[in-house]
Amino acid sequence: MSFRIALSGLNAASAHLDVTAHNIANVNTTGFKGSRAAFADVYATSNNDVTKTTPGAGVRLNTITQEFSQGNIDFTDNNLDLAISGEGFFTMKGSSGVTYTRAGAFSVDRDGYVVNNSLERLQVFPSNGTGGFSTGSLSDLQLQVSENAPKSTARADIGVNLPANAPVPTATPFDPSVPASYNHATSMTIYDSLGTQHTATMYFVKDAASNSWNQQLYVDNNAVGGPNLMSFSNAGELQTPASGVITYPSYDPGTGAANLDLNFDFAATTQYGQEFGVNNLQQDGYTTGRLTGIEVGSTGIVSARFTNGQSKELGKVAMASFSNPNGLQQQGDTSWAETYASGSPRVGEAGSSDFGLLQSGALESSNVDLTSQLVEMITAQRNFQANTQMISTADAVTQAIINIR
C-alpha cells in the first residue's frame, strides 16, 4: 500500500511541476494567465469502513484553476495594440467560432480587417451613422482604406469687427479691383461637392447711413449676390439681418460640381472702435481626405483620421464578461471558449458596468510572478524527492520482510 501512496505523491508532485513549468514558460506571453494546481486526499472507504482507523490512499490532482488577475501594462508604438485595465475579454471571431482573449496584439490583414495572430477578427459594435453604436449586434472591425469623401461648404460663421469711425469710400460704384471703392475685405477657402477649393472674399463698404454697411461676396472673383445691408445698434451690435444670416444666390463653381448654396452667419460681427479685425472664419466644408491613422479611445471607440481634418467612427470594441471565468475552456494562443460552467457571455462596452477601460498602444503582460513560481518549483521538487524517499523506505521494509527466515 505504501508504494501506491508514494506513487500518487510522485504523480501529484509531477503535476505540480508541470503547472509551474507551464507558468514559467509563459512568463513573457502577452495576456497569459497563470494556473494553480489544487490537490485532494484519497480514501478508499465504503459506508461500512471504520474511518478512524483508515490511513488513506494518497493524493490526487483535483483541479487546475487559472488566476485571472491583472497583468502589468507595457506600452508599445502600435495604436492597434490594446490592453484591458480591469475586467473583461476581447471578443474574436474566426473559422472555429467565437473565442475570447486578453491578448490585444492586433494587426490589419490584406482586406483591412483587424485580426490577432491567429487571424481571428476583432468584434465591435458597428456605428449607426448618427454618432452612436448598434449595441445589439456585433461585426468585424474593418479599417477604411478608401479616401474620405469631400463635403461642399453650405454654412460659415463670420466674426469680424468693423471700425465705427470708418469713412464712406470715395470711389463709386463698388469694384473689387478698385481698393478705394470699399473699406475692408477678408477671404477664406470654401469647397464644392467634388472637394475643389475656391476662394470666398467678403468686402465691406461703409454706407452713408449711420451705423450701416454693405457686404459683398465674391467667389473666385465672381460676384455672388449683393450688396447686403448690415446695420448695427449704437452699442455696436448687429441688428440687420435680424438672424445674422445672409443667404446668397446659388452659385455654379464651374468645375462640374453641384451649385454652392451658401449661408454666412454674421451674428458675431460687431462695430467697435477704430480697427478692422477678423476674429472668426469657420466653414463646414472640406476636401477629399486620405487615411493618416487610427485611434482607439479608452471606452473602445475606434476612429479613423484623415488628412482633411475629419475623423470617422468605425465601431466600438465589444467586451465580454463571464460569471465564472475559471469555467472557460482554454483553446491555446491565449484564448478561451465559452462552456456551460463559465456561463453565457455578458457583452458590453469598455468603461461601463464592471468592464475595464482600454489602453491603446499598450499590451497586458503575463500575470505570472516569476519569483513565486521559482518557490513553487522548489516546493514541488522537494515533494517529489520526499516521495521517492518514501518508496525507498517501503522497499527497504519489504526487503527486510522477505529476508526473514
Does one domain contain both 294 and 214? no
Does one domain contain both 269 and 186? yes
Does one domain contain both 175 and 278? yes
Does one domain contain both 84 and 17? no
The pLDDT assigned to 121 comes to 96
The pLDDT assigned to 54 comes to 67
CA 392 to chain centre: 61
> Which of the listed residues 283, 300, 329 is the one where a domain comes to its end?
283
How far apart, in Å, do the first and last CA atoms of the chain sit?
23
User: What CATH number has the domain bearing residue 222?
Assistant: 2.60.98.20
> Which of the listed residues 283, 315, 339 is the one where a domain comes to its end?
283
Total number of domains constituting the chain: 3
Instruction: Give the count of beta carbons closer than 10 Å to the beta carbon of residue 368.
Output: 23
Domain range for 197: 155-283
Does one domain contain both 184 and 267? yes
Does one domain contain both 261 and 340? no
Rounded CA-CA distance 92/104 in Å is 11
The pLDDT assigned to 400 comes to 74
Query: Residue 40 belongs to what H/E stretch?
Result: strand 35-42
> Which of the listed residues 283, 310, 336 is the one where a domain comes to its end?
283
**Which pTM does this prediction carry?**
0.75
Q: Residue with C-alpha cell 448690415?
A: 230
Does one domain contain both 126 and 87? yes
Does one domain contain both 141 and 261? no
Block means of pLDDT (10 residues each) for the chain, length 405 residues? 75 87 92 90 67 73 89 93 95 93 94 93 90 90 85 97 94 93 96 96 95 96 92 95 95 94 96 94 94 90 91 93 92 93 93 91 93 89 81 72 72
CB 276 within 8 A of CB 163: yes
Does one domain contain both 141 and 210? no
Query: Residue 397 belongs to what H/E stretch?
Result: helix 370-402
Does one domain contain both 191 and 260? yes
Instruction: Give the count of beta carbons closer than 10 Å to the beta carbon of residue 356.
Output: 19
Collapsed DSSP state (helix, strand, coil) of residue 140: strand
CB 14 within 8 A of CB 384: yes
Does one domain contain both 117 and 138? yes
Report strand pairing: 329-332 vs 311-321: unpaired
Rounded CA-CA distance 49/38 in Å is 27
Does one domain contain both 278 and 160? yes
Task: Determine the residue type at 360.
Answer: S
Indicate the length of the chain as a whole number.
405
